[in-house]
Structure 1
Amino acid sequence: MDNSVWWLTLYSLIACCIIMVLVWLWAHKINNAGVVDIFWSYNFPVIAVILLLLAPGFEIRKQLICVMVIIAGGRLGTHILTRTVSHLDEEEGRYQQLRQEWGPNPDRTFFWFFQAQALSNVILAIPFFVICMNTSTHLSPLEYAGVAIWLISVIGESVADTQLRAFKKEPANKGKVCSRGLWNYSRHPNYFFQWMMWMSYLVFALASPYGYLAIISPAIILYLLLRVTGIPITEEQSIRSKGDAFREYQRTTSAFVPWFKKKA
């Protein structure tokens, strides 16, 4: 692989780390670490712009993958921004819990947590680096398949987010569990389609040299969603806030993959 990939990685890491330092300063000022999620999403479009401008790959291929990343990262970041700004003075329960667990000086730990998020941005961007280094002028069927899977995942995630947002806007639903639309078949359809999006990047990257390295990204995302910062923490918070209503929801719905029918 061209040595320029290491410079592109370094530029991307520096950019993401600087952004996260600024975000940490803001989070410290407003006492709300939840803003990190906004810029974790926005960092992927930042990396995409760097690759679009500097990577040596075939221009049409670069434009295709970078537009995909910019749209997906921008949409998710803006969705989280809208949600977070609506209660900026109230930190999300997940981060309140971390603040308690991290003792008397959590802001120092949050600084390194934010930097770890920047590093994760670059690691997860491996498919983008692989794709943007490919100089072949022929687009593979795998790349078209990746675009198709990406379209389905973006639409699915957008629908899930819209359905949940509409549910929460209704005052009568305060304290209740959303089981409308896609949420009737999965407790986390947004997470499922987010993972599916990373699978689309893997499929796209398999047409490029070293494309197999792209499996790292969906594997990490799946592990985080199922075992670490996704479903476990989200459901712990839901049980604390909704109690038995959410336990019943757990009993009757799939945790991740949307099924066509509820479990018996």
Structure 2
Amino acid sequence: MSPWLSVAWVWLGSAVAMAALWAFSMRVRNIGYVDVGWAGLMAAAALFIGLTADGSPLARGLVAMFGSVWGARLCLHLLHRVLNEDEDGRYQALRAEWSGSPVRFFVFFQVQAVVVALFSIPFVAAASNSEDGFGAWMLAAVLVWLLSIGGEALADRQLAAFRADPGNRGRTCRVGLWAWSRHPNYFFEWLHWFSYVLVAAGGGMVWASLVGPVVMFAFLYRVSGIPWTEAQSLRSRGDDYRRYQQEVSAFFPWPPRRNP
């Protein structure tokens, strides 16, 4: 299957799935399911492209494994949060801003379907590589993927344990990786996208694999990641979070600064 036809099929399937998820989210009044759906659809896209791409079995297999495991882990983590907590404050604020408009939320869900298709491009680029030998690039891809998946899972686990303690209500997590980065989960999610660049190295579409880390960094740092999350954190934790912003790196892990 041609690379761009694969992306088109991913978008079409995601659009249908997001429409169904939008109807469900409106019924249960919890927009947080959009994140669950996005992660699950990314996992499905990786499997689909791994099965249908024209590259070597090695490249296709790595894409299918990398993307499906990453997406499934994130999907289950987010699902557990959505099922056991109130609607995320970010979405509560958006609901208030949009007066709960179903039409606006439908568009919002469909934009996520487009984003799934956009981030399937690195999958296609990597899975189209015809290189069949397990050389240095492939080994580096596996190592980066293991580091990113392990780091993101550890960050999520540390935050979940902190939030589970009632004594931490209203306080900012500074445990483990969260003492070095305000968003270590975002950092490792971004790092994960370099796995596909390394798998694609030497292939004819390596340039397209750069969509992953470049666009994800822009999304996380300037669009829907850090700005949106930190606005909610300031609303809920106020001065405690402002001190955290002054002392801890926003994205890249770095030793914290200590204010006098």
Q: TM-score range by the shorter chain?
A: over 0.9
Are the equivalent residues in 2 in contact too, given 1:61–1:139 (CA < 8 A)?
A: no
Is structure 2 residue 254 aligned with structure 1 residue 259? yes
| Superposed displacement of residue 136, structure 1 | 3.1
In 2: Cα distance, 1:250 partner to 1:192 partner: 16
Q: Which residue of 1 aligns with 2:37?
A: 39
**Offset from partner CA, 1:43-72 (integer Å, 9 cap, x none):** 111112212222222112211221111111
Are the equivalent residues in 2 in contact too, given 1:186–1:253 (CA < 8 A)?
A: yes
Structure 1, unmatched stretches of 5+, are: none
Q: Which residue of 1 aligns with 2:201?
A: 206
| Superposed displacement of residue 249, structure 1 | 1.0
Structure 2, unmatched stretches of 5+, are: none
In 2: Cα distance, 1:241 partner to 1:77 partner: 25
**Offset from partner CA, 1:202-257 (integer Å, 9 cap, x none):** 23222321201211221111111111111111111111111111111111111111
Q: 1:162 to 1:66 in 2, by over 3 A?
A: same
Match of 1:159 among 154, 161, 178: 154
| Secondary structure class of the residue paired with 2:64 | helix
Q: Which residue of 1 aligns with 2:122?
A: 127
Q: Which residue of 1 aligns with 2:14?
A: 16
Is structure 2 residue 107 aligned with structure 1 residue 117? no
Match of 1:71 among 58, 69, 72: 69
Are the equivalent residues in 1 in contact too, given 2:25–2:33 (CA < 8 A)?
A: yes
Written as runs of structure 1 = structure 2, the 5 A alignment for 1:80-95 is 80-87=78-85, 90-95=86-91
- Number of aligned residue pairs: 259
Is structure 2 residue 184 aligned with structure 1 residue 189? yes
In 2: Cα distance, 1:155 partner to 1:247 partner: 29
Amino acid at match of 1:252: E
Q: Which residue of 2 aligns with 1:102?
A: 98
In 2: Cα distance, 1:127 partner to 1:263 partner: 39
- TM-score w.r.t. the length of structure 1 is 0.93
Amino acid at match of 2:185: N
Are the equivalent residues in 1 in contact too, given 2:8–2:117 (CA < 8 A)?
A: no
| Superposed displacement of residue 261, structure 1 | 4.3
| Superposed displacement of residue 139, structure 1 | 3.7
In 2: Cα distance, 1:150 partner to 1:6 partner: 25
- TM-score w.r.t. the length of structure 2 is 0.94
Are the equivalent residues in 2 in contact too, given 1:16–1:118 (CA < 8 A)?
A: yes
Runs of 4+ in 1 over 6 A off after TM superposition: none
Is structure 2 residue 240 aligned with structure 1 residue 245? yes
- Please give the root-mean-square deviation of Cα atoms over the aligned residues, in Å: 1.5
